[in-house]
Amino acid sequence: MQLYFIFMKKICFATNNEHKIQEVKNIIGNAFQILSLKDVGCSEDLPETGNTLEQNSAQKANYIFKNYHIACFADDSGLEIESLNNKPGVDSAHYAGTRNATDNNNKVLAELADKTNRNAVFKTVITFVSLNSESQFTGIVKGEIINQLPEKEGFGYDPIFIPLGESKTFAEMSIVEKNKISHRSIAINKLIEYLNLREDL
């Protein structure tokens, strides 16, 4: 068992978001050894100055690879709402001016108050970087924004998003249920497929 652990591929997940770590560990299981930013000695904030999820995802992964010299991946995700011109999008983390999820959700619901079109997508862009390689994997899930903020809290915009064909919000689902259909799990499963083919890691 211990020997198996030594030969497992070690990959850093460049994120400070505990919810993302829990979801991704639940999908990856024991397929790879996931190192945290703390494990690789990184305690600073990751740079995120791009204008798109693709740019920010690549920026975070490249920052860790260049400074800590370990194969790594980063996740940049956002909620894109059709009748708000795809906002909050890349500004999802601090849409209301703070990083407070309740404030962000309330801002979205206020902006949608007079809108009948409540279609939205959650999108995740994963960037994997290692020596001489950089690849991106995208996951998208369609859904709708509900009318009122429920009492039950959850990760980011999960309390107000119902995936297409489902009757529960992401916040009302268990982590296993969310991972069966989520934007993040679609992107991470593409990453796993890619890593399984990489003999050099």
Active site residues: 76
Within 109-168, which residues bind ligand ITT (CB under 6 A)?
122, 155-158
Which of residues 9, 10, 16, 103 is near ligand ITT by CB under 6 A? 16
And the tokens for 147?
A: 């009318």
Give yes or no for residue 179 binding ligand ITT (CB under 6 A).
no
196: enclosing H helix or E strand:
helix 183-197
And the tokens for 13?
A: 């997940």
Residues 143-149: contacts with CB under 8 Å, at least 24 apart: 143/119, 144/118, 144/119, 144/120, 145/81, 145/108, 145/109, 145/112, 145/118, 145/120, 146/118, 147/109, 148/109, 149/102, 149/105, 149/106, 149/109
The amino acid sitting at 143 is G
Q: How many residues bind ligand ITT (CB under 6 A)?
A: 20
For residue 90, the minimal CB distance to ligand ITT (Å) is 8
By C-beta, is 105 or 130 nearer to ligand ITT?
105
Binding mask 32-61 for ligand ITT (x = CB under 6 A): --------------x-x-------------
Contact residues: ligand ITT, CB under 6 A: 15-17, 20, 46, 48, 75-78, 92-93, 101, 122, 155-158, 170, 184
